[in-house]
Amino acid sequence: MTGLTPGYEPETGQVILEGRPAGVAGEARLVPVSGAELAFDRAGGHLSRVVVDTGGTGGPGERVAALLVRLFGRDGPGAVRGAAAGLARQVPLPEPAYLAEVLGW
């Protein structure tokens, strides 16, 4: 898989970007800003899921949008808004070294 596939949960107002699932070691979760949760495979370290709280507005808040831009480029927030509107398009995965830099690892 080369990207994350978005889905929208209207009951919670969350957009979930799903990637390759975590393996038997499970997931490690990180909340870099309020309203965004990243899940990584514990063994391989790949990004397996991003959960974004849209607050029922159909789009991410300002801090979450800034994180999405850093992770996925300027189209990141638009992909979340599109998923909330029912327009699913795959979001490219960031390179692991870039992801580590963005998250300060």
Listed by start position, the domains of the chain span 3-87
pLDDT by position in tens, the chain (length 105): 468 888 999 999 999 999 999 999 999 999 999 999 999 999 988 889 999 998 777 678 899 999 998 888 888 888 888 888 888 777 777 766 677 777 776
Secondary structure, 3-state, 34-65: CCEEEEEECCCCCEEEEEEECCCCCCCCHHHH
Tens digits of residue pLDDT in 46-65: 889 999 998 777 678 899 99
104: Cβ–Cβ under 8 A, 6 or more apart, which residues? none
What is the value of pTM for the model shown?
A: 0.84
pLDDT at residue number 97: 64
- Residue 91 forms beta bridges with which residues? 4
